[in-house]
Chain A
Amino acid sequence: MANLKELSAKPEALGCGHRLCAGCGAAPVVRQILMASDKPVVIANATGCLEVSTTIFPYTAWNVPWMHNAFENAAATLSGIEAAYNSLKRQGRYDKEVNFVAFGGDGGTYDIGLQSLSGAMERGHDLVYVCYDNGAYMNTGIQRSSATPLGADTTTSPAGEVIPGKRGGRKDLTEIMIAHGIPYAAQVSPAHWNDLITKAKKAFDVKGPAFINALASCNRGWRHDPSDTIAVTRLGVETCFWPLYEVENGKVRVTYKPRDKKPVVEFLKAQGRFRHLFKPENKHLLDEIQAEVDRKWEDLLRREAQAAAGPA
């Protein structure tokens, strides 16, 4: 159980004065993830909102070692940093204990960063990769990524006269990571801080690569009031749009089951980017979205039951 009082005594890795938007959903993700590390952290950050807004020269909001290289290579960069650490340690030239963590948005992770992420996971580096998934390339002004949900309005998948927003569903990156056979992968939400911090701690402690996918609202791209960031994220979980689960050495565990599974329209109608879906001619899309959410949720529950039952 994460103890907020204890955690509040720790120094903040990401300090004040950064220029992320008011109500940015990525910031609580980053703060909560880093709170969970009981060792000093060294960070590699992909290009994107987080990187750009926290390090406008000559200012940095980071109180810890932090590096940005390019857009698609946070995982490769961190692999190199971790390799240097291993090398220096092995030679007796470095004796500190460090947790390595990479941050990338869905753009820099699902799309352009997928290759270097896959390589890092496959090679077994001892690091944690955290994706703050706000479902679009937000830093460049809200363009679709492979993480953008079906029907969402973005500037490169606009809701137009003929096409109602993004075509096709989301890539399931968490499952792709699980397929790499890494020791730990999980989905988290900053609205569920206890679940997030518990999982982040597991990810840091596990030996080998760990992947965390965090639902991060962007009030500009999702179009809701900045004060609703946590509330909308919570709805994402309560509707099972974003299941909170973890896979430890291949074993699935759903860590949060909503007492009353809400219909996904509760999540969608809270956001301007889905407003057009509520036109009568788009009802089939709402049904499609609900069907897919249900399918994945049932699938997760089934896999969890199988895992609990033990080997066949």
Chain B
Amino acid sequence: MSGDRLPGWRDLPRGGVILEAGNAREYETGEWRSTIRPKWKPDKCIHCLFCWVYCPDAAIRVENGKMTGIDYRYCKGCGICSKECPVKGKAIEMVPESEATS
């Protein structure tokens, strides 16, 4: 929405309501990360899903009960996932943001 001309009062839904559920997905909070990001090491992962249940941003991707990756569009880089990973040697490691390949 930023950058485009904002809607006039006639175009806004009545009473200030927001009708499009979950449209905050358009706001990619992944841009908040500046220094570090989590790096997932799939071969070490035991798919306990602890990272998923603790992530404040629901940025851990899970499919059919198995972790499939991290959604960097929304991950804020807090590091909880890495800290809580129970695997010896960690299946998620915090690395510099500059290491991002995608």
A and B touch in their complex, CB below 8 angstroms: yes
Which residues does A use to contact B, with CB under 8 Å? Answer: 4-9, 12, 14-28, 31-32, 54-55, 57-64, 190-191, 193, 225-231
Any A CB within 8 A of the CB of B97: no
Query: Scoring B residues 45 to 80 as 1 if CB is less than 8 Å from chain A, else 0, what string do you get?
Result: 000111011111111001011000001011011111
Neighbouring A residues of B21 by C-beta, 8 Å: 60, 62-64
| Cα(A63)–Cα(B24), bound, Å | 10
Beta-carbon nearest neighbor of B53 in chain A: A193
Q: Which residue in A5, A61, A227 is a CB contact (below 8 Å) of B82?
A: A227
B25 touches A17 (CB 8 A): yes
B79 touches A226 (CB 8 A): yes
Q: Which residue in B16, B57, B82 is a CB contact (below 8 Å) of A18?
A: B57
Known: A15-B58, A17-B29, A230-B84. A22 touches B77 (CB 8 A): yes
Distance of B45 from chain A, by nearest CB (Å): 14
Name the interface residues of B1-50: CB closer than 8 Å to any CB of A: 1, 16, 18, 20-29, 32, 48-50
Neighbouring A residues of B55 by C-beta, 8 Å: 28, 31
| Cα(A191)–Cα(B18), bound, Å | 32
Contacts between the two chains (Cβ within 8 Å), count: 123
State which size class the interface on B falls in.
35 or more
Neighbouring B residues of A228 by C-beta, 8 Å: 83
| Cα(A122)–Cα(B64), bound, Å | 43
Neighbouring B residues of A59 by C-beta, 8 Å: 18, 23-24, 26-27
Neighbouring A residues of B56 by C-beta, 8 Å: 20, 22-28, 31, 229
Distance of B1 from chain A, by nearest CB (Å): 6
Which residues does B use to contact A, with CB under 8 Å? Answer: 1, 16, 18, 20-29, 32, 48-50, 52-59, 62, 64-65, 71, 73-74, 76-80, 82-84, 94
| Cα(A63)–Cα(B74), bound, Å | 16
| Cα(A54)–Cα(B26), bound, Å | 13
Q: Which residue in B26, B62, B64, B78 is a CB contact (below 8 Å) of A22?
A: B78
B20 touches A17 (CB 8 A): no
| Cα(A9)–Cα(B65), bound, Å | 7
Neighbouring B residues of A54 by C-beta, 8 Å: 24
Known: A4-B49, A8-B52, A193-B53. A60 touches B18 (CB 8 A): yes
Q: Which residue in B49, B52, B59, B80 is a CB contact (below 8 Å) of A16?
A: B59
A17 touches B79 (CB 8 A): no
| Cα(A16)–Cα(B59), bound, Å | 7
15 CB contacts below 8 A, A to B, read A8-B65, A15-B25, A15-B58, A16-B57, A17-B23, A17-B26, A18-B57, A22-B78, A25-B56, A26-B56, A28-B55, A193-B53, A193-B54, A227-B78, A229-B54
Q: Which residue in A9, A16, A227 is a CB contact (below 8 Å) of B79?
A: A227
B54 touches A28 (CB 8 A): yes
Beta-carbon nearest neighbor of B67 in chain A: A8
Neighbouring B residues of A12 by C-beta, 8 Å: 58
Q: Which residue in B1, B18, B52, B80 is a CB contact (below 8 Å) of A23?
A: B80
